[in-house]
């Protein structure tokens, strides 16, 4: 599997995520799948639109999302918008409806690590609620994509980002 950003999606993505600094920014990735033309029919996720979201992390979201049951681990850092993001579930519903009207879907989410590397943090791994794609932009603006598997901390796989045409 690989991911491809069409048009100016990559630029829009980095601008909207980095605008949230010093907080983590977040966005949904909308688009469709296609099969590559080479022999091994590889699945390519084509991002056609960036849906910027507000980072609604807060103690309320902690309860709404029923996170406490996921936090029976030793997270030593203090969690805040600077190191954690939550996308409002209502935003996801809206984006999902909007995408479906265009025969697209939500391919995954993206967020920034304003002070870190573009690799999934321990918290990212523990709070993966469904298997899927996440894209992370690091403090130097470098972007990497990952396939997260729910409840499998050590099973994160990097997804290749194809250079856009
Ligand atoms: Zn993260």
Please report, for residues 50, 52, 107, 110, 122, the alpha-carbon distance to residue 16 in angstroms, rounded to integers and kept in the order given: 9, 6, 18, 10, 24
For the chain, strand residue ranges (E) read: 2-5, 26-35, 43-53, 105-112, 132-137, 143-148, 157-162
Q: 97 C-alpha vs ligand 1 centroid, how far in Å?
A: 26
Please report, for residues 9, 21, 47, 70, 141, the alpha-carbon distance to residue 123 in angstroms, rounded to integers and kept in the order given: 27, 19, 25, 10, 21
Backbone φ and ψ of 7, nearest 5°: 55, -130
Q: 144 C-alpha vs ligand 1 centroid, how far in Å?
A: 12
Q: 119 C-alpha vs ligand 1 centroid, how far in Å?
A: 7
What are the domain boundaries of the chain?
A: 2-162
According to the model, what pLDDT value does residue 76 have?
47
Question: CATH: 3.50.50.60, 2.10.240.10, 3.40.140.10, 3.40.50.1950. Which one for 2-162?
Answer: 3.40.140.10
- Condensed to tens digits (0 to 9), the pLDDT of residues 79-95 reads 789 988 888 889 999 99
Q: 122 C-alpha vs ligand 1 centroid, how far in Å?
A: 8
Q: How does the average pLDDT of the chain come out, rounded?
A: 86
- Condensed to tens digits (0 to 9), the pLDDT of residues 129-138 reads 678 899 999 9
Strand partners, 26: 53, 111
Q: 46 C-alpha vs ligand 1 centroid, how far in Å?
A: 22
Q: 65 C-alpha vs ligand 1 centroid, how far in Å?
A: 17
Q: 37 C-alpha vs ligand 1 centroid, how far in Å?
A: 33
pTM as predicted: 0.88
């Amino acid at each position: 599997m690989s991911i491809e950003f069409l048009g100016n999606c990559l630029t829009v993505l980095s601008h909207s995520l980095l605008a949230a600094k010093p907080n983590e920014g977040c966005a949904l990735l909308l688009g469709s799948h296609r099969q590559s033309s080479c022999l091994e029919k590889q699945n390519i996720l084509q991002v056609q639109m960036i849906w910027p979201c507000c980072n609604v992390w807060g103690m309320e979201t902690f309860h709404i999302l029923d996170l406490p049951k996921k936090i029976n681990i030793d997270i030593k850092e203090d969690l805040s918008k600077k190191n954690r993001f939550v996308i409002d579930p209502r935003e996801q519903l809206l984006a999902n409806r909007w995408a479906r009207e265009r025969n697209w879907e939500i391919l995954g989410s993206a967020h920034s690590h304003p002070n870190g590397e573009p690799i999934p943090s321990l918290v990212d791994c523990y709070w993966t609620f469904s298997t899927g794609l996440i894209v992370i932009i690091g403090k130097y603006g470098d972007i990497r994509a990952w396939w997260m598997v729910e409840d499998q901390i050590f099973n994160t796989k990097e997804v290749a980002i194809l250079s856009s045409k």
